[in-house]
Structure 1
C-alpha cells in the first residue's frame, strides 16, 4: 500500500487547478517557541483550502463516459467548492448536496466556482442528512460519488502537499502537524512522508469534541461519535473513513487534542504572523 500511494501522489493531477503553495516561516511563533515553525499556506488556493486537490484528482481520472454522466458530492463547505471548481474546469455536471443550514456565503462561493456546471440541492439540517440524500441520488441517476476523504484518488491528491513540503524544505524536519476530520489529508501526507522520510513525526490534531480518529486508533476499530462539536466545522466528522483509518493506523505517530480556546489563540497567532484570518479547521494544527 505504501508504494501504491507513493506512485499515486507522484502522478496526481492537481496542478491544472491547484497551485504550489508557500511554506512560510511564522516569525513570532518561531521566536516564542525557539524553533522553526513553518506554515503551509493552503489558504492561498483558489478555493482557500486544500480540498480542491483531492476533488480534482479524483474527477480528472474519471472516464469520458463517467464525466458525461456527471458527479455528485455532499458537503457544507470546502469540498463542495473544490468539486465545483473541478467541474467547471472539466466541463462536467456536478450535483452538490448541502444542508439547508449552510451559510449563504458558502452557497454563493459554490455557484461562483461552478457556474452553469453545478446544480445545488439543499436538504436536511446536517452533513449526515446531505450525505444520505446524495447517496440516494447517486444510485438513482448513476452519478459518480466524489467522497470528501475516503477515496484513494482524493487521498493521493491531498498527499501532494507532502511532496511540496519536502521539495520546498529539504533540510531536517522534526514533525508535521496535520488537522484531522475524516482523515483524508493526514492519510495522504502521512503516506508520502513515511515512504520518503520516515523519521519525520506525523502528528494529527483534533478537537476534544470531535476526536473520532483518536478514539478509533486507541480501540483498534472505527467508532462513531454520537455528536460532534461544530466550532471547527471543517473537521466535525462523526466517523472516519475505512480507508483513511487503515492508513492512519500505519502512518500516524501521535494525535493531540485541542479545545476552542486553543483554536482561538492559534487563529490570533497566525494573524499576528501573516495578517491572514484562518477558519477554525485551518488553525487546528
Structure 2
C-alpha cells in the first residue's frame, strides 16, 4: 500500500488553494554549523501553514452530496484554517472543534473564513473526541487532520516540490511531527524516489507520541502533552501515520523548548520571519543532528511548517533563545557583603557581556546574586564557574534549572530591613562592554550597592535600577559623581513602587 502513495501524491488536488512554496537558503545558520541549510517555507501559504494541502485534497474528493451537508473537523489551529479555507473555496459549511488552549490568532483566522468554531477540552484529543461524536450525530464527513490517506497525500506534495526544487544531493530532510501526517506524506514520496535521503522527524520532549510509539512497537497515548509547541500537541498519533513512520522514517529527535526558541531566532535572523514553535522544530532538530554527527558540508532541508504565532509568546521566545543556543549562562553567585565585592566579581567576569543581574541586600555577611552572562558555549560557562570559585566566590550553574529560569529570576529582591541611607536611581547605561565597569570605577569605594537589577532588552542602551547606601553628609559628592558619569539617570527614591516592595 505504501507504493500507492506515489500516485496519490502525484494526482493530489492542492494547487487550487496552495502555492508551491520557496526553498530558501539560510546563509547565517549554514555558515555557523558549516553545512548548507535550506528552509521549505510552508509558513508562506495563504493560511501560514502546510495544513491546507491535506485538508483541501481530502475535501475536493468528496461527493457533492457530502459537501452539501458540510464537514466537521478537530484542530489545534492550523488544520482548522485549512479546512475553513477549503470549505470556503468549495462552497460548503464547516464546523471546527478546537481546544480551549488554542491561540486566539488561530481562532480568529478560522472564524474570518466563515467556519463555525466550537471550543472544547484542554487538548487536541479532547476536541477530537467531541468532534467525532458531533460528526456522527449530524451524519456529516469528519476531516481528520492527519490519519487519512488523502490528507497524507496532500501533505506529501511538499516532498514533490522539494525534489523538483533541489535535484542535487540531499543528506536529510527534517520534519516536525504532531500526529504524523506531514512526515508520512514526505517520507512516502522521498523513500519511493530517492531512498538514500534520510527523513528525520522532530518532536518536543514533552509531546513525543510518535517517538514513544515507535520505541514501544505500538501506538502509545500520552497522559498529557506540553503546549508550548501547540501545533504538534497530540497525545496519540494515527494508525496509518504510525505504520508509515515505522516503515519509512529514519530517526526521530527530541528537542526542548529552549532549543525551539533558539531555532525561531535562527529563522528570524536569516529570513526576518517569525515562525510558530512547531514551525521551528525542524530547524532545532537539524542543528542537534549536525552537532551529534559532526556533520560538515552536507545539504540539509528543514520544513518550516507554520507561522501562526501568538504575539504574546514572543516575550518567552526572546527570553529563552540564547539559553537554547547555549550562548547564555545563568549563575547564582555568593559574594561578601562589603564595598568592592561587586567590582571584584565584575572584574572576574572580564569582557563577557552581562545579560541580566538581580541582587537585593539580604544580610550583613553575604550577598546572593542572580546573573546572566553571555558565553560562547557551555564549556566557557564551566570555566567561568571555576574562576569564580578559585577566587572564593561560590557559584552554581542555574542554566538548566527550570524554576530559576521561569520564576526566580523575576522574584529576586523584596524589602530589606538592614539597609540604611539607601537611595534608588534608574539609569540608562550605554549597552556596550565596559559601561558597568566605568560606573563602578568612578563610584566611591565607600558607597555600598544594596540593590542592582539589569536585563538586556536588545536596545542600544541598558535599563538599570541601582540602590546605593549614601551617608547624608556625602549626598553632594554623590550628585557630583552622577553628573561626571554622563549617563541618563532618574531619582526613584520616592517612587511608590519602591516604597511598597523594596524599601
Q: TM-score, normalised by structure 1?
A: 0.97
Equivalent residue, structure 2, for 1:81: 81
Equivalent residue, structure 2, for 1:238: 235
**How far apart are 1:47 and its partner, in Å?**
0.4
- CA distance in 2 between partners of 1:103 and 1:29 (Å): 29
Question: Are 1:119 and 2:116 counterparts?
Answer: yes
Equivalent residue, structure 2, for 1:130: 127
Deviating more after overlay: 5-14 vs 226-235: 226-235
Equivalent residue, structure 2, for 1:6: 6
- CA distance in 2 between partners of 1:223 and 1:122 (Å): 25
Q: How many residues align structurally?
A: 282
**How far apart are 1:125 and its partner, in Å?**
3.0
**How far apart are 1:3 and its partner, in Å?**
1.8
* Structure number with higher strand proportion: 2
Alignment of 1:157-176 (within 5 A): 157-176=154-173
Q: Is the 8 A contact 2:210 2:237 kept in 1?
A: yes
Question: Are 1:47 and 2:47 counterparts?
Answer: yes
Larger Rg computed on CA atoms: 2
Alignment of 1:1-285 (within 5 A): 1-112=1-112, 114-115=113-114, 118-285=115-282
**How far apart are 1:99 and its partner, in Å?**
2.6
Q: Which has the higher contact order (CA 8 A, sep 6+)?
A: 1
Q: 1:218 to 1:28 in 2, by over 3 A?
A: same
Unpaired segments ≥5 residues, structure 1: none
Q: TM-score, normalised by structure 2?
A: 0.55
- CA distance in 1 between partners of 2:105 and 2:254 (Å): 29
**How far apart are 1:34 and its partner, in Å?**
1.6
CA RMSD of aligned residues (A): 1.0
| Secondary structure of 1:284 counterpart | helix
- CA distance in 2 between partners of 1:189 and 1:60 (Å): 20
Equivalent residue, structure 1, for 2:383: none
After TM superposition, the runs of 4+ consecutive aligned structure 1 residues lying more than 6 A away are none
- CA distance in 2 between partners of 1:192 and 1:172 (Å): 16
Equivalent residue, structure 1, for 2:359: none
